[in-house]
Structure 1
Amino acid sequence: PTPPANITVSCGAEVPPMISLTASDTCAGQITATGVDTTAPGNCPNSYVITRRWTFADPCGNSSSISQTITVRDITAPVVPQAPANVTVSCSGDIPPMISLTANDA
């Protein structure tokens, strides 16, 4: 069989679900295999490569494999909130206190 195409996604939630594939063997007929994922870490928690491999083996121990590479690469910057309005004050004691802001990240 032909494996699914190699893909790149932005975050782990976009990794496609595992599927089973079926191969044909001259003597054994159809052989169905479920893929096995191997993950290699990248340089941040949302950056890694999954190698999804399907191995088909017949009753005589003959086997062949195919694989798909799924690259997870977070290249989307966080969406920042609107900053507080600029202010002009007369004295340093009138400077508003620091506040925390929250950004959203995919």
Structure 2
Amino acid sequence: MFVQEFEATGINAGTYQYLAGQQAYRSATVESMMCDGELAKVRERPAPWAGLHVCTVSLRVLDQSISARNTYTAPVSVMVNCPPADSAPADHCVMVGFYAAPNRVLY
């Protein structure tokens, strides 16, 4: 994962040690998902091959530690490659991209 994408999730090298000491963890559940033609940017610029899908996922995130609990919603863009793409596995999809930086999230 690129450093920029990791840091866009709210964690960087400066906070990692502190959070580990606080027994912090993060979990997330999907609130909503829009894919392909539901996204204006994908309608304007369709995927270059059949089987490549682009989705914007709204995540409900829970950050919890021994001293705090915080919930928020975060959008992320996910790209998956699925059959019938030649580069996809025959029986399932694989994630090929994950973007959390605001300038990379599709709407």
Q: Same fold (TM over 0.5)?
A: no
Find the structure with the greater CA-based Rg.
Answer: 1
Task: Judging by fraction of residues, say which structure has more helix.
Answer: 2
TM-score (norm 2): 0.29
